[in-house]
């Protein structure tokens, strides 16, 4: 079996798993606040900045893969070398940052896709990225589940009237 | 009649959704992929919308070109609207508007919750908001053909 098809099957297995439960990376980073590569340690040993930067990169990866697939469809003028180059720019880099934050499985897949990009024709490029996007979307859904949205009550929106009231109080 | 059920087993709630006059092919692909389920989430910026970040099309891929899909602005959509965001290949995001939205962006409407079930949808929305922001309960949503 071709290497990309082997990888596709492995991703499919992870899609099946993450359709029902989070994988261990998500639990470690977003539920248990464990980031194994050291992200956040220099910054007073907190996890919040790792969540803040790591979570959007997974969202970006899902978005950029969507656009890559759209651009790869027949009728578009992008060559395969151009698409490969965009893939490296658009999702390999954010995926690598996700690994640094503790999301190892997704970057493991990304590295393998990156290594085989030059071997993919248009159809296999679309097919492999389509499956990878589904996996990333599942991961993304679990990140949203464990993100501490309740923290948002500590930072309410403010407006002009709020600051005008503050100035009024200061002038008294 | 073209319809499906959107239900939340953990909440003991469900609503009936009907197809629209537009995007009927998108609706049909969605129904062909049922039964399916997803982790239920909530929109966190644009208003009172249930949001599923990963709806999977495991049986029939979504292959309708973007230019063939009608869109509407979420803030203008009626309460009860079921919409897709970026449907493609094996997946899409899905939003269910259960009250006011301030999101002016375009989405792809595919279904509408029937009027008699709108209060149930609102209840599900409020329960999910509570889970997302406070209890952290994991809630799944299921989509099944109405005759299932």
Does domain B3-145 correspond to CATH entry 3.40.47.10?
A: no
Q: Is the dihedral of CA A124, A130, A135, A136 positive or negative?
A: positive
Q: How far is CA A167 from CA A156, A170, B62, B101, in A?
A: 19, 5, 55, 32
* A141 touches B38 (CB < 8 A): yes
Least CB–CB distance from B138: residue in A63, A145, A150 = A145
The reply to whether ipTM tops 0.90 is yes
Distance from CA of B70 to the nearest CA of A (A): 17
Q: How far is A23 from chain B (nearest CA, A)?
A: 14
pLDDT band at B1 (very low <50, low <70, confident <90, very high): low
Mean pLDDT, 10 residues at a time, chain A of 172 residues: 94 97 95 89 89 85 92 86 91 88 94 94 96 96 94 94 96 92
pLDDT (tens digit, 9 = 90+) per residue, A123-150?
999 999 999 999 999 999 999 999 999 9
Nearest C-alpha of chain A: how many angstroms from B68? 14
For residue A133, list chain B residues with Cβ-Cβ distance below 8 A.
Answer: 88-91
Residue B3 buriedness (CB in 10 A; 0-12 / 13-18 / 19+)? middle
| Cβ of residue A140 closer than 8 Å to a chain B Cβ | yes
Structural domain count, chain A: 1
Kindly report the backbone phi and psi dihedral angles of residue B103, in degrees, each rounded to the nearest multiple of 5, phi listed first. -80, 115
CATH number where A120 lies: 1.20.1420
Residue B148 confidence (pLDDT) above 60: no
pLDDT digits (tens, 9 = 90+) for B14-60: 999 999 999 999 999 999 999 999 999 999 999 999 999 999 999 99
Put simply, the answer to whether B134 touches A130 (Cβ < 8 Å) is no
pLDDT score at A39: 85
Scan for tokens 């100035």, then name that residue: A167
Average pLDDT, chain B: 96
- Nearest residue to B25 (alpha-carbon basis) of B77, B56, B63: B63
**Cross-strand pairs, B97:** B49
Q: Mean pLDDT of all residues in chain A?
A: 92
Which of A63, A69, A138 has the CB atom closest to B89's CB atom? A69
What pLDDT score does B31 carry? Answer: 97
Of A69-78, B36-45, B74-83, B84-93, the range with the lowest mean pLDDT is A69-78
pTM of the model: 0.94
Length of chain B: 148
Domain that holds residue A61: 3-170
Q: Sort out which chain B residues have CB atoms less than 8 A from A145's CB and list them.
A: 39, 41, 136, 138
Burial of residue A90, with CB atoms counted within 10 A of its CB: 0-12 exposed, 13-18 middle, 19 or more buried: middle
**Residues of chain A neighbouring B141 (CB-CB closer than 8 A):** none
DSSP collapsed to 3 states, B84-102: EEEEEECEEEEEEEEEEEC
């Amino acid at each position: 079996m071709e290497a990309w098809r082997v990888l596709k099957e492995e991703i499919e297995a992870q899609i099946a798993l993450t359709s029902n439960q989070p994988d261990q990376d998500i639990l470690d980073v977003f539920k248990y606040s464990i980031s194994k590569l050291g992200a956040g340690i220099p910054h007073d040993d907190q996890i919040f900045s790792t969540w803040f930067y790591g979570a959007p990169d997974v969202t970006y990866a899902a978005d950029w893969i969507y656009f890559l697939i759209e651009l790869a469809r027949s009728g578009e003028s992008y060559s395969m070398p151009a698409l490969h180059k965009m893939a490296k720019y658009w999702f390999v880099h954010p995926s690598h940052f996700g690994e640094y934050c503790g999301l190892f499985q997704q970057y493991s897949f990304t590295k393998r896709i990156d290594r085989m990009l030059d071997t993919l024709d248009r159809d296999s490029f679309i097919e492999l990225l389509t499956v990878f996007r589904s996996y990333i979307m599942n991961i993304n859904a679990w990140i949203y589940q464990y993100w501490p949205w309740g923290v948002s009550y500590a930072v309410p929106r403010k407006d002009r009237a709020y600051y005008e009231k503050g100035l009024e109080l200061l002038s008294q | 009649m073209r319809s499906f059920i959107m239900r939340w087993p953990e909440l003991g709630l469900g609503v009936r959704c009907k197809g629209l006059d537009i995007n009927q092919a998108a609706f049909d692909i969605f129904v062909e992929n049922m039964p399916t389920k997803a982790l239920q989430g909530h929109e966190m910026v644009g208003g009172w919308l249930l949001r599923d970040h990963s709806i999977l099309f495991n049986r029939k891929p979504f292959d309708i070109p973007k230019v063939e899909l009608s869109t509407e602005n979420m803030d203008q959509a009626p309460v009860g609207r079921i919409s897709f965001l970026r449907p493609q290949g094996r997946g899409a995001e899905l939003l269910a508007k259960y009250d006011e939205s301030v999101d002016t962006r375009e989405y792809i409407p595919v279904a509408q919750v029937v009027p008699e079930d709108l209060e149930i949808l609102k209840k599900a929305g409020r329960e999910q908001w509570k889970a997302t922001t406070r209890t952290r309960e994991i809630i799944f949503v299921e989509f099944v053909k109405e005759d299932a």
